[in-house]
Chain A
Amino acid sequence: MKGTLSIFKREFGSYFATPVAYVFILVFLMLAGFFTFQLGSFWDRSEADLRPFFNFLPWLYLFLIPAISMRLWAEERKSGTIELLMTLPITMNQAVLGKFFAAWAFASLCLALTFPLWITVSYLGDPDHGVILASYVGGILMGGGFLAIGSCISAITKNQVIAFVISVVVCLMFILFGVSPVLGMFSSWAPEVVVDTLASFSFLTHFESITKGVVDARDILFFGSLIAFFMFANALILDHKKAV
């Protein structure tokens, strides 16, 4: 626990040691605004909610979260600091979790900084604050899921570009399982159980159910166990690399 916290503090602090983090936040906010107001036809809907924003969030995350996660382990390996980290008196799990939680905290901070959107809809109308709050919680959980996948993939390579590309592809699969045309492709021939199982692995399915305003235990469990699984795999990959 103590070790995890030490790693977390260093990692989180390092995001703000260079201008990259600030640029990233700026890009994130600009894209969020663009998606919401332009593509999401925020003004034409004459409805006071943040639905356009949260509809686009998975697609925004698809590219921005791998941009955060790609450097997690690839950079440590490239610069050689992984040797330092792995020879400090902490366990592999503490190192993996410390870095993951720092990235998750950063991603959540980016999401939280979209709060002016919330203020705007509150000013313009009378939104359902419960639904919006639930959607933010869902966004944080989904971000954690994407990050866990990306962190695990980053442990495979020391090339950040490769880590980014593979992460985007894998994350895309986890989104597409929930898009009806893709499910339709399967439902024409596969048994319903298979289609349902696939759909149950989709980030979209779980995220959308949360954005309806109900934070269901099953959805939390889904993201929680997905994160746990990829953290476990992450530590396993790093352990395996020590033995090669």
Chain B
Amino acid sequence: MDALIEIDNLSKHFGELVAVDNVTFSVARGEVVGFLGPNGAGKSTTMKMVTGFLTPSAGKISVCGHSVADNPLAAKTAIGYLPEGAPAYPEMTPLGFLRFIADVRGMGASLREERIREVVSKVHLEGVLHQPIDTLSKGFKRRVGLAQAILHDPKVLILDEPTDGLDPNQKHEVRSLIQEMASDKAILLSTHILEEVDAVCTRAMIINKGRVVQDGTPAELQSRSKLHNAVTIRMAADKAASARNDLQTLNGVAGIQELTGSADQNGSVSFQVLASNGQSIINQVGVRMREKQWDVEEMHVEKARLDDVFRSLTSSDVSETTVSGGVS
């Protein structure tokens, strides 16, 4: 275990508001951790503390073994950071901007030009190198920010909404880039796009009102969905009632969910057989179906829905714990 980011009981208060509430986690080399959460959950605030832009109200952060509070320069040297909105000096050109970053990071002239050439081709900035940044499109601005973050080939990469505002092709490119770099780095990226977690992350952390409410692999996350491995069946309405009663008694079935509005003119309806603990139940359901010789028109296994999990974890029922946490 090679934890490059270690966060220990981190909190941040803005006056009365508790933006980050006692968060503890670590990110190891090779991991891509997706930081998920609704707007205002505290993702950016956490990242700003890890990168040394904000001072924590409480808690410890270490990056590559360097305490951010006690040895900020060593920590900042190890980090590449894309702040939210990818800020950059608008009057500069991407080339001038990257040269400035390289200069501050202490690269000599030859290394600097070599690294710039490399990242420019990685994020495809060739066409706009000499154009002032404030004349660039949102997608190009984001890429300039990415180029700046990876310029010194950092061990730790912190990306605040790296694909926000990009078109689908650009999103795909950025995700491939992240995957390409993942093996020897610890990457923490925030997003509120759930498909992104599936696409690039080895681990997903859901944060809500400043607290981590779920931490696991994307697969684990999916298995928390009520619909995970559920079987949707469509059949004649007059047979459906008895079939539902029958299926309900099967081993591993948690319950039946009717799909309202699914009835059509031919007298067919759909319903879902929910699996308990997300286990696979398609076999049992299939066997029973053949035994009883039901006339099924359609049957499929539900793909787990991340947004379902996300909504259940971040909707208002968790709020009460956050309020009491704010007082302490």
Binding site for B on A (CB under 8 A): 2-3, 6-7, 9-10, 13-14, 17-18, 79-81, 83-84, 86-91, 242-244
A17 to B76, CA, bound (A): 28
Residue of A nearest to B148 (CB): A84
Residues of A within 8 A of B89 (CB): 10, 14, 79, 81
A86 to B76, CA, bound (A): 9
Given A3-B104, A6-B104, also A86-B87 (CB < 8 A): no
> In the bound complex, do residue A89 and residue B73 qualify as a contact, i.e. CB atoms below 8 Å apart?
yes
> In the bound complex, do residue A14 and residue B103 qualify as a contact, i.e. CB atoms below 8 Å apart?
no
> In the bound complex, do residue B91 and residue A2 qualify as a contact, i.e. CB atoms below 8 Å apart?
no
A105 to B106, CA, bound (A): 23
By size class, the interface of chain B is 20 to 34
Q: How many A-B contacts if CB must be within 8 Å?
A: 67
Partner of B77, one of A10, A80, A86, A89: A89
Partner of B79, one of A3, A17, A87: A87
Partner of A90, one of B14, B84, B92, B104: B104
> In the bound complex, do residue B54 and residue A242 qualify as a contact, i.e. CB atoms below 8 Å apart?
yes
Main secondary structure of the interface of A (DSSP, over half): helix
> In the bound complex, do residue A87 and residue B83 qualify as a contact, i.e. CB atoms below 8 Å apart?
yes
> In the bound complex, do residue A89 and residue B105 qualify as a contact, i.e. CB atoms below 8 Å apart?
yes
A243 to B76, CA, bound (A): 18
> In the bound complex, do residue A88 and residue B76 qualify as a contact, i.e. CB atoms below 8 Å apart?
yes
Given A81-B88, A84-B87, A87-B76, also A6-B103 (CB < 8 A): yes
> In the bound complex, do residue B76 and residue A14 qualify as a contact, i.e. CB atoms below 8 Å apart?
no
- Given A7-B104, A84-B148, 7 new contacts (CB under 8 A): A13-B96, A17-B132, A84-B87, A86-B53, A87-B51, A88-B104, A242-B55
* A-B pairs with beta carbons under 8 Å apart, 8 shown: A3-B104, A14-B91, A79-B89, A80-B85, A87-B51, A88-B104, A91-B73, A243-B55
Residues of B within 8 A of A9 (CB): 100, 103
Q: Which of A10, A80, A86, A89 gathers most chain B CB within 10 Å?
A: A89
A10 to B89, CA, bound (A): 10
> In the bound complex, do residue A89 and residue B76 qualify as a contact, i.e. CB atoms below 8 Å apart?
yes
**Chain A nearest Cβ from B70, distance in angstroms:** 14
> In the bound complex, do residue B48 and residue A83 qualify as a contact, i.e. CB atoms below 8 Å apart?
yes
Q: Is the CB of B129 closer than 8 A to any CB of chain A?
A: no
> In the bound complex, do residue B101 and residue A88 qualify as a contact, i.e. CB atoms below 8 Å apart?
yes
Q: Please encode chain B, from 60 to 93, with 1 for each CB lying within 8 Å of some chain A CB and 0 for all others.
A: 0000000000000100110101011101111110
A182 to B88, CA, bound (A): 46
A86 to B75, CA, bound (A): 12
> In the bound complex, do residue B87 and residue A81 qualify as a contact, i.e. CB atoms below 8 Å apart?
yes
Residue of B nearest to A17 (CB): B91
The 9 closest A-B pairs by CB, nearest first: A80-B87, A17-B91, A243-B55, A89-B76, A87-B51, A83-B83, A89-B77, A6-B103, A6-B104
Residues of B within 8 A of A17 (CB): 91-92, 132
Residues of A within 8 A of B38 (CB): none
Residues of A within 8 A of B85 (CB): 80
Q: Please encode chain B, from 88 to 124, with 1 for each CB lying within 8 Å of some chain A CB and 0 for all others.
A: 1111100010001101111000000000000000000
Residue of A nearest to B99 (CB): A10
Residues of A within 8 A of B106 (CB): 2, 89
Partner of B92, one of A14, A88, A242: A14
